[in-house]
Structure 1
Amino acid sequence: MTIAQSSELGITHLPDHTELPESDGTFVKNFQEHPQSILLTDSVTSVLQQLHPDNQYAIGQDCGIYWRLTEPPEKGAEAPDWFYVPNVPPMLNGKFRRSYVLWQEYVAPLIVLEFVSGDGSEERDKTPVTGKFWVYEQAIRVPFYGIYEVSKASVELYHLVDGHYELVPANARGHYAIPAMGVELGIWQGQYKNMQAPWLRWWDAQGNLLLNSDEQCQVLTTQTQVLSQELEQEQQRAERLAEKLRQLGVDPDQL
């Protein structure tokens, strides 16, 4: 984390999340980004609840991570499309965060994900101080950085090793392991909500897809239907048996 000298900016104290801009005024790049972020959060929630039974974690979507003081203030922040921070309170003093301020909280995100809308050069920019890649690697020092390109149906995952990002190789399933979370990241081709696309999704360490709420409900509905059918079949068998007993002069109700 870098903090510009207060004397240069006329700053007498370090601002917190309530004093910093919550947006740099840019638009969300496309209509796929919003459901993609929801899908990531929805499907990984059960894992995070197991990792954090005290609920001490935070997830940001298009929220600024402030890492240095600048003028204007928003120039000192990066706003990943999705990120997860372990072991921090979900709210501050009963208020929703407007942004994530490193000099206020100190804990860096464990993983940040960027969704490519252009050619990916912005997400891979290693220019000191201004490039996204450089900021995540050298300033914020995020352990895992993912670059997701829906147009190519691909994701690159980088791991911070000895101060520099190394590309994580895919495993036999074509997924990328994140041991600290006990999950794998990869591409899933299918329909989410009303859109068919290659979605960025999570799997557990055994390669099982982490289901979102809709999929979990569908599984429960299917299981309920199967149990109902089995119960109905058992009732029909019992009725047939009772009828045969009556034909033999045996009252099944007396057994």
Structure 2
Amino acid sequence: MIAKLDTARINHEPIVTWEPLPKDFQLEDDPVENDGQPLLAGALRESLELSGFIQPQMLIVSNFGLCATIDDRIVVKAPDWLYVPSANPSESMRRSYTPHAEGDSVAIVMEFLSHIDSGEYSVKRSFPPGKWFFYEQILKVPIYVIFEPEGGLLEFYRLQNDRYELVLPDPDGRHWVAEMNLFLGTWRGDKECRSGYWLRWWDESGNMLPWAVEQIEQERQRAEQESQRAEQERQQKERLMAYIRSQGIDPDNLPVSEQ
């Protein structure tokens, strides 16, 4: 009898409903695990914002509550980064999001690994369920990204036949994200007080979306190149005028050709 009960419990399909959190529901206010995680999440959003990708209806947030009700029990997970193409307008500041009840399904979730095991690979079905099980079987998020910042390992999973399957990168080491019409990959360098691996976006043409400091540097280089071009043109004009004068011709009295 015990074996039968256990089997029934294992085979039980969870009943999922989509209800916004009650106003009196107390969300946990845990801090992030290390100071690098908000930098990684902020850098992903920054380049999207500067490129003009972000639209008012989108929800792009980090360390933010994703909710579902499973067998009449509220489950909340807070991925390190997520993207929802279109969320319903909210009258107050959001601290959580329930798919279907408040807008589109979640298109992408990302988790940044640390030295503390936070269950990014957990397929535990019992309450509270593991993150992998929650994203894959409950929310059915099309893309699940797990990033290990120390070594720069990027694991890109796509939902195939209700299961996450690892997708290998293209020859440039990037993954095409059709939901955003962008490539996602890793890049090593410095930003703010952090040096190491970062997640970066590239457009369809293979151009990396810049951060603010990079965009400022690009503008400075363009201005410098324009200044150099103008100086070269000025020097060429001066040399031409000097040559004309050396031939006994007054450049101010050159005949004007008629069209």
Normalised TM-score (structure 1): 0.83
TM superposition shift of 1:69: 7.0
Alignment pair present for 1:125 and 2:130: no
When residues 246 and 206 of structure 1 are mapped into structure 2, their CA distance, relative to the original with a 3 A threshold, is closer
Other-structure match for 2:178:
179
1:30 aligned partner, one-letter code: N
Q: Secondary structure at the match of 2:190?
A: strand
Structure 2: 5+ residue runs without aligned partners?
A: 1-14, 255-259
- String of CA shifts for 1:180-208, please: whole Å, max 9, x gaps: 22222221111112321111112223433
Farther off after superposition, 39-48 or 218-227: 39-48
Other-structure match for 2:82:
83
Identity %: 32
> Which one has the largest radius of gyration?
2
- String of CA shifts for 1:52-96, please: whole Å, max 9, x gaps: 5xx32111111101112799x8x621111110100225x413x33
1:48 aligned partner, one-letter code: F
Alignment pair present for 1:34 and 2:38: yes
Farther off after superposition, 132-141 or 122-131: 122-131
Normalised TM-score (structure 2): 0.81
TM superposition shift of 1:103: 5.4
Matched residue count: 237
- 2:96 and 2:140 map into 1 onto residues whose CA distance is 18
Q: Secondary structure at the match of 1:165?
A: strand
Other-structure match for 1:11:
none
- 2:146 and 2:214 map into 1 onto residues whose CA distance is 25
- 1:96 and 1:119 map into 2 onto residues whose CA distance is 30
Other-structure match for 2:219:
220
| Aligned with residue 90 of structure 2, among 79, 89, 92 | 92
Q: Secondary structure at the match of 1:39?
A: helix
- 1:167 and 1:98 map into 2 onto residues whose CA distance is 30
CA contact (8 A) 1:17 1:101 kept: no
Alignment pair present for 1:231 and 2:230: yes
TM superposition shift of 1:227: 0.8
Other-structure match for 1:167:
166
RMSD over aligned Cα, in angstroms?
2.6
Other-structure match for 2:134:
135
CA contact (8 A) 1:159 1:165 kept: yes
Structure 1: 5+ residue runs without aligned partners?
A: 5-13
TM superposition shift of 1:19: 4.7
Q: Secondary structure at the match of 1:92?
A: coil
